[in-house]
Amino acid sequence: MRAAQVRFPILALAITLAGCQPPAAENYVDRKPASDQKSAQASAPLPSPDAQGAVWAEAASAQRLLYGKPGEQPLFALACIEADGGEHVQFTRYAPADEGAKAFMALIGNGHVARLKVDATEMGEATLWQGSTPVGNDRLEVLTGRNAVEATIPGAGTLRLNASNAPARLIDACRAAAEGQPSDAPDRPANPE
């Protein structure tokens, strides 16, 4: 019984010393936000929208296309704009974005993969994903083919852009305008699907 009495104090001392270990770093700072500070965390990721039945349509303003289901809020938009002294293609993803957020939109389709910068942009009462690139950027070729394209923004899901000649016509017209040529670009062949 004496051996059991000796082991108990040694075990208790070992447990006590284990609890007295110094922090992992000498200059450790508690990283919990103060109770009056908000934690800057990203919003929960959004599910990918259902694009079945979505179509490309010309917007009321010239050189702008809207993509979405007829009669519903748009899912995506393309526009030819003038920015930084030249013609640009502007793209807007109608999905909520956290204020100040920046990301890359990945576009996959038509034998191309492209990544284009997008920023959280205030539009009226909403903050949406928007970006632009010079019309001469070869990455835009992903949108000029005859097949569907997947557009993915981290946290905003993947949007399927159904096949249409409309984006190619808009980009061709924007390129012609940048070169000072007439904007009546030839129609591309229709998608065989």
In CATH, which of 3.30.70, 2.60.40, 3.40.1580, 1.10.10 is domain 55-178? 2.60.40
Q: Quick one: average pLDDT of 45-71?
A: 90
Q: Give the contacts of 185 (CB within 8 A, at least 6 positions apart).
A: 169, 172, 173, 175, 176
In one-letter notation, the amino acid at residue 3 is: A
The per-residue DSSP string of 27-73 comes to T----PPPTTSPP--PPPPPPPP--TT-EEEE-SSTTEEEEE-TTS-
First to last CA, the chain: 87
Q: Is the dihedral of CA 125, 127, 133, 135 positive or negative?
A: negative
pTM, to two decimals: 0.71
Among 23-27, 79-83, 104-108, 109-113, where is mean pLDDT lowest? 23-27
Cβ atoms of 162 and 79 closer than 8 Å: no
Q: The tokens 């007439």 sit on which residue?
A: 182
Q: What's the pLDDT score for residue 115? A: 97
